[in-house]
Copies of this chain bind each other. A is one copy, B any other.
Amino acid sequence: MLIGGHAVRGSAAMIHAVDPATGERLEPGFPGATPTDVGQACALAWAAFPAYRETGLEQRAAFLETIADEIVALGDALIERAMRESGLPRPRLEGERGRTCGQLRLFADVVRAGHFLDARIDPAMPDRQPLPRVDLRLRNIAIGPVAVFGASNFPLAFSVAGGDTASALAAGCPVVVKAHNAHPGTSAMIASAVRAAVARSGMPEGVFSMLYGAGNEIGTGLVADAHIKAVGFTGSRSGGLALMKVAAERREPIPVYAEMSSINPVILLPGALAARGEAIGQGFAAALQLGAGQFCTNPGLVLAIEGPDVAAFVKGATEGIEGASPQTMLTPGIHAAYEQGVASFAGHDGVSTVARGAEATGRYQASARLFATDGDRFLRDHALQAEIFGSASLLVRVKDAAALANVLEALEGQLTVSVHMEDSDRETVAQLLPTMEIKAGRLLVNGFGTGVEVSHAMVHGGPYPATSDGRTTSVGTLAIRRFLRPVCYQDMPQPLLPDALRDGNPLHLWRMTDGALSRD
């Protein structure tokens, strides 16, 4: 574990990763934290907060880049450990390392640009009638230390130094990570890289800590700690709801940014099916099985208007599913949940199995599934909206565009909604779009949600229960806003003002003056 600058050996129950390809228990074990460790890490984070949040933009940006450099410097040992702990293949993990470092470097750019400060100035109007106007200046400041929960399905990009950590550090918030039990060794290596970056960059040690914990106690204690001011989480709905409850019942309630569950509907319209139904089916099968379907944006629901060309989609999808090899899932627990979900759909009244992947040969391998049902049954039975985490999806055949709209309306909040269309479908899409906007954070045309670009215009979020807070995103540069709050300075003398708000704009920021943006 890492408590500030110190590598610490925990004294609570030991955590062992399991190699999901073999079922082998991996050494070494990582002993969990005690409540005292949680308190120490949070107190150190609080102690680091005043200095860290006021680091210069350049200094903070360089720190983020140094973390990326240190992660790269871990070399192949990182990839090898992550492969053993996650069962994910090398190219995927190498790509994910690139994404993790790219994310840190992109947030460095965000910090340098300074838009996130939202600097605003309303100059004094001493002669205004009937009352003079005071001088008002606004900037965002960091919200405080953030608790980040590592996610199982991105052992690098959404774990110890992943998106939540990068955006919180960029905002000026110290971070205390609760490592995911599925990849403790990978977490230890990444934590050591962050620790090295903290030291090299001369940051206060409490800027970063990482703890292990076998049960729920450490995570709950972290969210309950008075020094923690926000929470970042990616995982199950039950896990997210539990953290939301702890956060809401604190003496001082705090925001929880939990990215929880989404079945990411894919809408197939007649023009698209006629033009390239089979190809869409093949693309769907590929998206469904990417990473053994263990993505938040996995296409778990397909809505198709009944017609002759649906068969072409089914043909393409079936070929893509039956022709693929079974894949090892991340953990025995995730595998068991997947098997249970698949069994439940397979035995469901009015649900048929359209396609199934090759039988698993390894203990924790999963075989993909495409189920089918009709719109009326789907509407009647809320259980069919349940997320099966993994490469399983449900095709819902509806009789027309109106029925499709009804199904869409009945859905819970989602991360993504995709629509496959040709020009001839445009009117239908225009009619569906308002509902799509209300239901999801990202709307895709002729694509699948599984690729999540890390950029300025990305939204990886959506209405509840996709996330706990549909006003935010956990991927992309806008994610920094989760960890900021505005402060207004009234008639503050120049020497006391933060640089971002001083006359003459010494940081050369875009600022809003009396409502108008400029960089003067």
A252 at the B interface (CB under 8 A): yes
Contact with B along A445-465 (1 / 0, CB 8 A): 111000101011111010111
C-alpha gap A115/B477 in the complex (Å): 17
C-alpha gap A461/B334 in the complex (Å): 43
| Residue from B137, B445, B485 within 8 A of A490 (CB atoms) | B445
Specify which chain B residues have a CB less than 8 angstroms from the CB of A491 in the assembled complex. 444-447
Specify which chain B residues have a CB less than 8 angstroms from the CB of A486 in the assembled complex. 441, 459, 461, 471-473, 478
Q: How many residues does chain A have at the interface if contact means C-beta atoms less than 8 Å apart?
A: 76
Q: Is the CB of B492 within 8 A of A458?
A: no
A144 at the B interface (CB under 8 A): yes
List 10 extra interface pairs beyond A131-B451, A134-B451, A463-B485, CB under 8 A: A136-B455, A137-B457, A252-B463, A429-B496, A430-B496, A443-B490, A456-B512, A457-B512, A471-B484, A471-B485
| Residue from B459, B470, B492 within 8 A of A488 (CB atoms) | B459
| Residue from B253, B255, B515 within 8 A of A456 (CB atoms) | B515
Q: Is the CB of A457 within 8 A of B136?
A: yes
Q: Is the CB of B517 within 8 A of A115?
A: yes
Specify which chain B residues have a CB less than 8 angstroms from the CB of A141 in the assembled complex. 437
A121 at the B interface (CB under 8 A): yes
- Within 170-202 of A, Cβ neighbours of B (below 8 Å) are at none
Separation in Å of the A453 CB from the closest CB of chain B? 6
| Residue from B144, B495, B515 within 8 A of A438 (CB atoms) | B144
Q: Is the CB of B470 within 8 A of A514?
A: no
- Within 403-456 of A, Cβ neighbours of B (below 8 Å) are at 413, 426, 429-430, 433-434, 437-438, 440-447, 451, 453, 455-456
| Residue from B54, B444, B464, B515 within 8 A of A252 (CB atoms) | B464
The closest CB in chain B to the CB of A413 belongs to B252
C-alpha gap A514/B110 in the complex (Å): 11
